[in-house]
Structure 1
Amino acid sequence: MSAPTEEHAPTDDRSASGSGRDRRTYALVGGAGLISTSLAAYEIVPASVTPLLRESLGIGSSAAGLVVSVMFGTAVVGSLPAGVVLDRTDSRRVMALAVLALFVAGVWGWLAGTAGAYWSVIASRALGGVAYVVVWNAGIDIVSRAVHADVQATAVGIFTASGPVGFAIGQGTGPLIAARFGWPAILPAFTAVALLGLLLFWPASRGLGEARGDAPSLREFLTVLRSPTVWLLGALGFLSYALYLFVNSWGSSYLTQELALSLATSGLVVALFPGVGLLSRVSSGLLSDRVFGGRRRPVVLGSFALAAPLLLGFTRLGSVALVVVALLLSGFAIQLTLGLSYTYVREVVEERVAATAVAFQTSVGLAGAFLAPIAGGAVVDAAGFEPAFLLAGGLAVVGALLAWRAPEPTR
């Protein structure tokens, strides 16, 4: 991956300049990735200590699921307006403001959790959801501008890999932090790291966040909402995020309640599910760009086709070893779509409304992330874990059928 350079560099000065641009690109992607990693850890970490959270606040499964999913709910509402703003303003500065808001949300949640104020915790997480969607959309937009078109899917895949890395860190370390400092400490534990990422990202991103020419017209904006392909890709994102958040939210509880693992061990085991996304999300771009010659559909189709049988048979696995294998394979499969869908949707619309298309994809996708922990908790309470995982497997089958019909981008 490299920043744009001149095709021929006959002098050492030009080569040195190209190397400098390469270093700047690596710093930009690394800084944006560090911000996103800390944000993702903050997002998912309550799921790793659900039993402690329920006992402390006196709430049920669905209410506990809302602590995780409320961030995605506010992101659903805020994503499309954020994309419109990013197409019209300096996304770099907006991203910096979002990082500061994330830090405030973490401290607020810690104070509210210590006081046992459930709805104040929810409000703090809602603020974090606004910060999340701005960082995510702006990061994808800026990283996409920084690299050559022929490696754009790979670069965006590397950035989106920050999500599963953060999820794995949150799932794995949440119980350890809670045991040492109390569960409310999990909320601000990761937000300060985002400030360090901003220090790396800010100088490297100079000149990359400005709005591109005139703002998109209302007619151009509406072309995004009227595109059947955009809606189809949004549906695939919805299903992928629903599956991803369902396993992340209730996998640990399944291991604790059904397989009698300790909370700390369950957290570490479930951390494998998002953690493998570091490989999966980077691989999605490489597979699409290199193996399939830029085609996107084969990767997305394979993602759902592999995930479906793994989820359908998950509760029938009799040993922890088989569960670990299933978590690794299903985590890899589901996140292939999560890594590629943002590049995919950018390529089916005009460049001037690319950020809006990404925001739409984020909004529809995160609707699945919002609903999955709550709906999953309701099914678990009403019928148990087996019907819940069977339902997840059925959604993966639907995803495979939709992916079969998805067209290849023409741009």
Structure 2
Amino acid sequence: MAPQRDAVADGDGSADRGSAPATTDRDWTAYGLVVGSALVSAGMAAYEIAPASVTPLVRDSLGVGSTLAGLLVGAMFGTAVVTSLPAGAVLDRTDSRRVMAAAVFTLFVAGVWGWVAGRAGGYWPLIASRIVAGVAYVVVWNAGIDIVSRAVEPAHRATAVGVFTASGPLGFALGQSTGPLLAARFGWPAIFPAYAGVALAGFGLFWHTSRGLGGARADAPTLGEFGTVLRSRPVWIAGGLGFLSYALYLFVNSWGSSYLADQIELSLAASGAIIAVFPAVGVLSRVSSGVLSDRVFGGRRRPVVLGSFGVAAPLVLAFTRLGSVPVVVGALLCVGFAIQLTIGLSFSYVRELVDANVAATAVAFQTSVGLAGAFVSPIVGGAVVDAAGFDVAFLVAGAIAVAGAVLAWWAPEPA
């Protein structure tokens, strides 16, 4: 459903087809909505990943090890895992536009809370602020997809949703590249209110362009329909692919910068700038994943997912053996593009594996399972780094990519 505007009539009472102001206004409103909601999501994604860009500073300031430092990143994902399905149920039955507004302001409060806790050296209050922010994040993600889907015509819906989901890697790149700069100028706790402020700025454009959208649906899934999703083997396979792709994606995002700083002895700012290319390439990858599947492979999903893990596996396994910074950057570009093909395609893929009346439930399930991988990965990665070093940690990450390729080989094609 597109935002509605009154037609401009000419002298004889018919619409003025020459200038078509109503169509132009509607189109620009839809564009503004997509941009505004994507900016909100990008600010939240930057907030989510930013602690990874300043991990050495966090560890020194709070006196914690790698595992607890990884939890600062993983806490938001873990919260999203638990709250995604309940949040989807609420959004199906309420005005998602107003719920999204509450979520954005909640994030800003959490950002200020995190800044205060970080300056005071309070690790657990900081974790609590991240948990609150995790609830806000998953509400914005689910509500954003819902409202963007309603705002544009069906012929452009996939493109609009693709642009919205690309806000994730865009925000990750923003957080990875500018987090060390903010930390150097204002202290590392300043990253929390700064990126919450980006989300708040995007909300102004979103709120203006989303009027009339986000109302409650009459066809919310029943408990029985929800159960059919949980009993579906293809849905669980798609969820497993999402889990593994997010786990690999978050491992590199969380520990790649520390590896470059500790092992290659680059500055923290340089490490953050280099690692930023890993999520940044996902802007292209996530938008193009559906085009690649539809145009190159004739609508098949499995070849894209199989190629995604197949390209990533050898590069991750060999990552700590790459000798020069240009080669490392090239490998990050290739791995970042490859693995985010699966992330970009998985939400449309899982919808096609179930009946239309439970498609939204399947997407919520995919979000929950995928983010479980994002939650576990930084924490387990930190534990492996502490226990065995970066070489073993990247071997484990490579094994995750190999497991993804094996699972993709058995993945079903949608009917």
Please say if residues 87 and 356 of structure 1, whose CA atoms lie closer than 8 Å, have aligned partners that are also in contact: no
Please say if residues 108 and 124 of structure 1, whose CA atoms lie closer than 8 Å, have aligned partners that are also in contact: yes
Q: How does 1:63-212 map to 2 (within 5 A)?
A: 63-212=68-217
Q: CA deviation at 1:3?
A: 8.8
**1:200-231 superposed Cα distances (whole Å, 9 cap, x missing partner):** 11232233312322432211121121111211
Please say if residues 3 and 213 of structure 2, whose CA atoms lie closer than 8 Å, have aligned partners that are also in contact: no
- 2:37 and 2:339 map into 1 onto residues whose CA distance is 23
For 1:382, which of 380, 387, 391 is the aligned residue? 387
Q: Which runs of 5+ in 1 are unaligned?
A: none
Q: How does 1:272-283 map to 2 (within 5 A)?
A: 272-283=277-288
Please say if residues 154 and 284 of structure 1, whose CA atoms lie closer than 8 Å, have aligned partners that are also in contact: no
**1:140-165 superposed Cα distances (whole Å, 9 cap, x missing partner):** 22222333445443322211111111
**Poorly superposed stretches of 4+, deviation over 6 Å:** 2-5
Matched, 1:227 2:232: yes
> Normalising by the residue count of structure 2, what TM-score does the alignment of the two structures yield?
0.93
- 1:69 and 1:354 map into 2 onto residues whose CA distance is 27
What letter corresponds to residue 240 of structure 2 in structure 1? A
For residue 53 of structure 1, what is the aligned residue in structure 2? 58
For residue 30 of structure 1, what is the aligned residue in structure 2? 35
For residue 308 of structure 1, what is the aligned residue in structure 2? 313
Q: How does 1:316-335 map to 2 (within 5 A)?
A: 316-335=321-340
Relative distance call for 1:289 and 1:12 in structure 2 (3 A) is farther
Relative distance call for 1:125 and 1:393 in structure 2 (3 A) is same
Please say if residues 36 and 194 of structure 1, whose CA atoms lie closer than 8 Å, have aligned partners that are also in contact: yes
Supply the RMSD in Å over aligned alpha carbons.
Answer: 2.0
Of the structure 1 ranges 14-23 and 317-326, higher mean CA displacement relative to structure 2 is found in 14-23
Matched, 1:217 2:222: yes
Q: CA deviation at 1:258?
A: 1.0
Please say if residues 3 and 211 of structure 2, whose CA atoms lie closer than 8 Å, have aligned partners that are also in contact: no
Q: Secondary structure at the match of 1:137?
A: helix
What letter corresponds to residue 96 of structure 1 in structure 2? A
Q: Secondary structure at the match of 1:349?
A: coil
- 1:4 and 1:302 map into 2 onto residues whose CA distance is 42
Please say if residues 221 and 361 of structure 2, whose CA atoms lie closer than 8 Å, have aligned partners that are also in contact: no
Please say if residues 36 and 206 of structure 2, whose CA atoms lie closer than 8 Å, have aligned partners that are also in contact: yes
Q: CA deviation at 1:13?
A: 6.5
- 2:405 and 2:178 map into 1 onto residues whose CA distance is 34
For 1:402, which of 392, 396, 407 is the aligned residue? 407
For residue 263 of structure 2, what is the aligned residue in structure 1? 258
- 1:145 and 1:99 map into 2 onto residues whose CA distance is 20
- 1:240 and 1:160 map into 2 onto residues whose CA distance is 15
- 2:158 and 2:311 map into 1 onto residues whose CA distance is 21
Q: Percent identity?
A: 71
> Normalising by the residue count of structure 1, what TM-score does the alignment of the two structures yield?
0.94
Matched, 1:39 2:53: no
